[in-house]
Amino acid sequence: VAMDLTRLAVDAGQFINRAVQYTGESLGQADKTQLDSGLEELLARADATKTWTDQIISQTEVLLQPNPGARLEDRLYEHLDWSVPPRPRAHEVLGDQMVQAGLELGSNTPYGLDWSSQAKSSIN
């Protein structure tokens, strides 16, 4: 628990620092920091990696701990012999997210290649 609070504090501090810097730059009070184009690309790739990782973790949690309401609804449809309305299943959504992450992160990166191969193996 202490580790989670430490991580939360570090993330919050970074967010606040970026918000203060962005606000100062937007209002014209400070010059925008000029970054090397390679560094900007690396930062964008790191942000995309974090975003996709968070989404995939979240969807994995949904897959491992399903919504009891959805399970009850599925049972109800089974017992009433009604057709279940089409909706994406948790594993399908997870597979789609893995494919999208692999495409966005690129097959030229190990992380993107891993997501693509995981998605393909889960589909087959």
Over residues 12-64, the pLDDT tens digits come to 778 888 888 877 766 666 566 777 888 888 889 899 999 999 999 999 998 89
Q: Are residues 107 and 48 in the same domain?
A: yes
20 contacts: CB under 8 Å, gap ≥ 6: none
Rounded Cα distance between 30 and 50, Å, is 28
Q: Are residues 75 and 118 in the same domain?
A: yes
What does pTM read for this prediction? 0.61
- 33: which DSSP letter? P
Q: Are residues 13 and 58 in the same domain?
A: no
Over residues 76-110, the pLDDT tens digits come to 888 887 787 788 888 888 889 999 999 998 888 88
Q: What's the total number of domains in the chain? A: 2
Q: Are residues 23 and 50 in the same domain?
A: no
Rounded Cα distance between 67 and 56, Å, is 17
Q: Are residues 8 and 47 in the same domain?
A: no
Question: By residue range, what is the domain housing residue 92?
Answer: 36-123
Q: Are residues 26 and 65 in the same domain?
A: no
